[in-house]
Homo-oligomer: A and B are copies of this chain.
Amino acid sequence: MILIGERINAGFDPVAQALKDRNAENIRDLARKQEEAGADYLDINMGAISKDPEDMVWLVKTVQEAVDIGISIDSQKPEIVEPALQVCENDSLINSTTAVEEKLDGLVPLAVDYDASIIGVTSGEGGAPQDVNGRLEHAATIFSRATGAGIPPGNLFLDPVAMPLKFMQEQASNLLKSIHQISNISDPPPHISLGISNISSDATERSLINRTFLVMAMAVGLDAAICDVTDPKLVESVATAEMILNNEIYSDSFVETYRMA
């Protein structure tokens, strides 16, 4: 399972403040905490508070002072993504393109030029479809454009878009079906990723919903997630599911072993 830590997001007040103050130690601390919790990548998101490529560059540089794991550059704007890729020395992941022509044109070549991985969310001109077929159609468009440009399936993450259960409850079962079908799109398959926390937006019991949904999605083929890796219950659920799927060997200390791997 590829875990992408979501906490360096200026939508959270302490991150917004640290970005404003150029408080590198607070950012590095958040990076180290997520790495220790089991993150494979750290997502960096400026939220609504900045559109300045220099802010993203500073965040990327600051994070890689603290950790060696991958960096997920959370922007759909090539003018923000490219400068960040230029300074990124760790593995890099562009988060994200959609199936919209203009986004593909702007972002797929950057993934190729910088040997970056890229997330493609199943959203198009009309937004993100709620049905299985709509999701698959956009997944196929992105898959074909990305692999056609030379991105290997192992560097491509297709994201069929998690929507809030509280407001669109029936979407979750469509989402599980979509994951299962996308996992058969090619051999070897692309990664399949989701922004897990969206599923519990504005709900009670967010941690319970997130971890339950995450392991259900893993059962049908999800192998990557943008999520709160600092939630120990979520990570122990992932460790257990990985052991059930035979991706990690059983030992009596399987949860601890997974965290330290």
Contacts and interface: CB of A to CB of B under 8 A. Distances in A.
A187 interface: no
Interface in A210-231: 212-213, 215-220
A169 interface: yes
A58 B4 CA distance: 56
A186 interface: no
A149 interface: no
Interface string A221-261: 00000000000000011001101111001101111000000
Contacts of A249: 169
A244 B219 contact: no
A30 interface: no
Interface string A188-225: 00000000000100011100110011011111100000
A240 B212 contact: yes
A171 B100 CA distance: 42
A170 B219 contact: no
Contact of A220 (B170, B208, B220): B220
Contacts of A212: 215, 237, 240-241, 244
8 contacts: A173-B246, A208-B240, A209-B240, A209-B243, A212-B240, A212-B241, A213-B244, A220-B220
